[in-house]
Amino acid sequence: MEEQENKAQQDPKEQYDQPPFPEQKQEVPGTEADMQPKADHGEESYKGSGKLTGRKAIITGGDSGIGRAVAIAFAREGADVLISYLSEDKDAKETAKYIEEAGRKAVLVAGDISEEEHCKTIVQRAVEEFGQIDILVNNAAFQMSRESLQQIPSEEWDHTFRTNIYAMFYLCKAAEPHMKPGSTIVNTTSVNAYQPTPTLLAYAATKGAIQNFTANLAQLLAEKGIRVNCVAPGPIWTPLIPSTMPEEQVKEFGKNVPMGRPGQPAELAPVYVLLASQDSSYISGATVPVTGGKPTI
């Protein structure tokens, strides 16, 4: 009994690996297999309780990182899941395996969400496969660390905005006609919306835009009974980190938050479940910070 209690209650500072981490560098967008240490997506720990039984979800960037953790949790809560991803077939197939092991349907759609036509394709595929859309999780994002304004290519600035905020607009617009009262949209913003990191100028700007977009869209869709919220992660250990940040920053990633370590994707998933489920029926237009103690006020 004491052992079970110890597993249930842990010191959050010591629950996962702390920096320094091994030196590592990946090509964009990165893969789960090459991460050191491996990330936790709740593969062994998340247990569902039927909060999303019968619901149909779209998750962008669902192949890895936060998206994979959310996909696993949604499936174990009873939802069928469409995973939208760029090109990481191996990661996407592994996520699909977890969804199917939970007894739910997994649909994989590869492609670039910065293109509006592809966003329409994602929504249409979900309608064809599921017959409805109950949950849209806009999670996929692009970032690149740059030391100065002059180092940011104009094309990269444009690509960051098209991937992080344009795609959100495209997907919400395409999905709305297929969403009934009680449906939910959950967007991923960032602690950078509150405390922007200078070396992530474009990324941080999009995350501020996402928070504003969420607050506005929640008001616009309230009459239709569709709730819209967002989650603001702090430093989370995902393939985006070793593929877009300098090795010296990766080595010390997460050290500067009060808990002294990066968060794991598994620590985000329960918040997405809450916002997607009926448990949050009076929450809309909100941002839920998951930042390891880094303030958002």
- Which residues does the annotation mark as catalytic? 203
Question: CB under 8 Å to 90, separation ≥6 — which residues?
Answer: 31, 33
- Helix ranges (DSSP H) in the chain: 2-8, 65-76, 89-101, 116-130, 154-161, 167-175, 201-221, 240-244, 247-251, 269-276
Residue 216 half-sphere exposure, CB side, CA atoms within 13 Å?
8
Rounded Cα distance, 89 and 19, in Å:
29
Q: Which of 239, 247, 236 is nearest to 31 (CA)?
A: 239
Cross-strand bridge partners of residue 83: 59, 108
Q: Which of 164, 252, 147 is nearest to 201 (CA)?
A: 147
Cβ(232)–Cβ(294) under 8 Å? no
